[in-house]
Chains A and B, each alone.
Chain A
């Protein structure tokens, strides 16, 4: 019925540039929007509107008590941004976020690549190993952070117990609650940001399966002939990797870098559950949470979150412009 109505009204419309029949085109347009409308509604209500609202909140002095009165026509001010940017520890937390994000992204992709290369060729039990490798990624955060906490605990953790018993550590290391750990390395005294490194290691452990999945899929699509030809030419495995496999993987690695960077930059629960943001692991998203739940300062929390998002967008633009020409080939 819809189709007939459309065909009658069709001649009155301006002619389309394409040669396809207008009615079908319009019907398709309508169906497309209709099919997508539930998605659009959900994303608009639960994602886009809140973002716009946050931007408005960030420029108003609002606390939890007076949030009910807050509207579109509130008093706009830059006080929140000023408060956030000048508050003690802001820049260091931004720096922590950056170190954490880059460290976790690089390590997770590196480990994912090593795992993918090792599990590439078939062997007995590969299916099982492949499934096992994915476990850290599919298991619930809350459960895995608790196991890590207990494993690394200075009082009853297995790691410290074994460390002092078998590896000659002179004392237990508080992996998750020690800001600096001075270590002597070849006679040099080095201060290591212990908690931050542990959190990065956790993140690399939890997300290397993600990189592994992508890289393994890509590796398996590399044509065999390429490697066989290299083999005939007497190329060593490292040479084959460098000159044949790596170029094939470039696009996936670039994509993974962007994805992992975005996800880790915004990460909240992993650090919150492991250290609560203490011992030099206070990333920006933890600060947002603190503003929100400890000080009930919605305005400042929103401003802080906005700074985080802005920082991410700037970094992404820099990355896409200057560092990753390959990503553009991937896009449609």
Chain B
């Protein structure tokens, strides 16, 4: 057997080993999270190595405790969920409102300083967010924005706008200019062209972008910790969960229920949109 045949056979097997390993490595922690959130805590402490529990043993007590409001002795995650949703949705919409015209300008329009803009964007990523946190902490305290969801939203917009512009720019540059010229001939103003010609064509990219921004905002932890920690009513889910873990009296299974509550919306959204996105993006690729 020569080298080529041997390797071909070897990799045919190895490929499935890798795929199986990938599935285990990526999915198992999430499965374990879900499983632990459903098992009673004393049972977990006795048998930490079990990776299966039938529906008969399940308990939803953990979820009850996580979701009921703090006044009624729970952890009040419904409130945190609302806060996270408000911040993430606001950040997504506002970032898109800012970045779509920005991306259009960077792609299509020639203006003074167009090349220099990139250096400005680079600054966002070159400097650690902990560095931005110090002055923002002081600034927002003075403006009275610290401890408000609005302040946090502004930070998220600044953190996501540059990537958003890059992603959109890559897509916009594939749209033929002739379409826009045709629209201009028809008497469309530039804004009308963007709204009626460019945006519908760029819809998949805008969707992917929205998903990305939402994900960043929903998952963010550091700024939420710095700005919102003082008032429990303002906590986002990430922050609430981290604070919850600090208390010794909270059992690990409750912590896992909180993790599921935090993870579920983003994963559901991701799977729903992933399908939508790949169908749109890879429609032609499979036929190759």
| Complex Cα spacing A236 to B125, Å | 41
Whether A147 lies near B30 (C-beta < 8 A) is: yes
B218, A118: Cβ atoms closer than 8 Å: no
Q: Are A48 and B120 in contact (CB under 8 A)?
A: yes
Chain A residues with CB under 8 Å of B205's CB are none
Cα–Cα distance between A39 and B103 once the two chains are bound (Å): 10
CB-CB under 8 A from A205, the residues of chain B are: 25
Chain A residues lying within 8 Å of B110, measured Cβ to Cβ, are 25, 28-29, 32
Assess whether B267 is in contact with A151, with CB atoms less than 8 Å apart.
no
**Which residues of B are interface residues toward A (Cβ below 8 A)?**
2-4, 6-8, 11, 15, 18-19, 22-23, 25-27, 29-30, 32-33, 36, 44-45, 48-49, 51, 97-99, 101-102, 104-106, 109-114, 117, 120-121, 123-139, 142, 154-155, 157-158, 161-162, 165, 190, 215, 218-219, 221-222, 237-238, 241-242, 245, 252, 255-256, 259-260, 262-263, 266-267, 270-271, 274-275, 278, 285-286, 288
21 contacts between A and B (CB under 8 A): A33-B105, A33-B111, A39-B99, A46-B158, A48-B123, A51-B132, A53-B139, A115-B18, A115-B22, A139-B219, A140-B219, A140-B237, A141-B238, A142-B219, A143-B263, A146-B255, A150-B36, A237-B8, A262-B125, A292-B134, A316-B126
**Which A residues are in CB contact (< 8 Å) with B113?**
33
Instruction: Type the 1/0 row for A81-122, where 1 means its CB is closer than 8 Å to any CB of B.
Output: 000000000000000000000000000000000110111001
A57 at the interface (CB under 8 A from B): yes
Interface residues of A in 139-193 (CB under 8 A from B): 139-144, 146-148, 150-151, 155-158, 160-162, 165
Residue from B32, B133, B259, B285 in contact with A142 in the complex, judged by beta carbons closer than 8 Å: B259
A51, B120: Cβ atoms under 8 Å? no
Mask for A55-85, Cβ within 8 A of B = 1, else 0? 0010000000001100000000000000000
Hey, which chain A residues are within 8 Å of B124, CB to CB?
A: 43, 47
Taking each of A115, A127, A147, A301, which has the highest tally of chain B beta carbons within 10 Å of its own beta carbon?
A147
Q: Is A268 an interface residue (CB 8 A)?
A: yes
A129 touches B49 (CB 8 A): no
- Are B125 and A46 interface neighbours, CB within 8 A? no
Whole-angstrom distance between the alpha carbons of A114 and B52 in the complex? 30
Contact B48 A140 (CB under 8 A): no
Q: Which of B27, B125, B158, B165 has the most CB of A within 10 A?
A: B158
Question: Which residue of chain B has its CB nearest to the CB of A139?
Answer: B263
Name A197-252 residues within 8 Å CB distance of B. Answer: 205, 209, 220, 224, 234-238
Total number of A residues with any Cβ neighbor in B under 8 Å: 93
Q: Which residues of B contact A151 (CB under 8 A)?
A: 29, 32
Q: A132-B22, A285-B128 are in contact. List 9 more A-B contacts (CB 8 A).
A: A46-B132, A47-B158, A67-B138, A132-B23, A134-B274, A138-B270, A143-B263, A146-B256, A234-B2
Bound-state CA distance A18–B222 (Å) is 49
Nearest chain A CB to B211's CB is how many angstroms away? Answer: 9
Tell me the smallest distance from the CB of A332 to a CB of chain B, in Å: 9
Take A29-B111, A33-B112, A35-B101 as given contacts and tell me if A127 and B128 are in contact as well, using a CB distance cutoff of 8 Å.
no
Q: How far is the CA of A265 from the CA of B97 in the complex (A)?
A: 31
Q: Decide if B109 touches A32 in the complex (CB within 8 Å).
A: yes
Interface residues of A (CB under 8 A from B): 25, 28-36, 38-40, 42-43, 45-51, 53-54, 57, 67-68, 114-115, 117-119, 122, 127, 129-136, 138-144, 146-148, 150-151, 155-158, 160-162, 165, 205, 209, 220, 224, 234-238, 262-263, 265-266, 268-269, 272-273, 285, 288-289, 292, 298, 301-302, 305-306, 308-309, 312-313, 316
Could you tell me the distance in whole angstroms from the C-beta of B30 to the nearest C-beta in chain A? 6
User: Chain B residues with Cβ under 8 A from A28's Cβ?
Assistant: 109-111
CA distance A162 to B47 in the complex (A): 11
CA distance in complex: A266, B7 (Å) = 41
Contact between chains at B48 and A39 (CB < 8 Å): no
Say yes or no: A298 contacts B23, CB within 8 Å.
Answer: no
In the complex, which of the residues A36, A54, A129, A148 contacts B102, with contact meaning CB atoms closer than 8 Å? Answer: A36
On whether A42 and B98 interact (CB within 8 A), knowing A36-B105, A263-B125, the answer reads yes
Residues B49 and A31 in contact, CB atoms below 8 Å apart: no
The CA of A131 and the CA of B27, in the complex, are separated in Å by 10
A238 CB contacts on chain B under 8 angstroms: 7
In angstroms, how far is the closest chain A Cβ from the Cβ of B25? 7
**Bound complex: CA A261 to CA B257 (Å):** 33
Residues of A within 8 A of B221 (CB): 140-142, 269, 273
- Contact indicator A266/B130 (Cβ below 8 Å): yes
The smallest beta-carbon distance between B183 and chain A, in angstroms, is: 15
Q: In the assembly, what is the distance between CA of A103 and CA of B3, in Å?
A: 33
On chain B, the residues within 8 Å of A162 by CB distance are 49
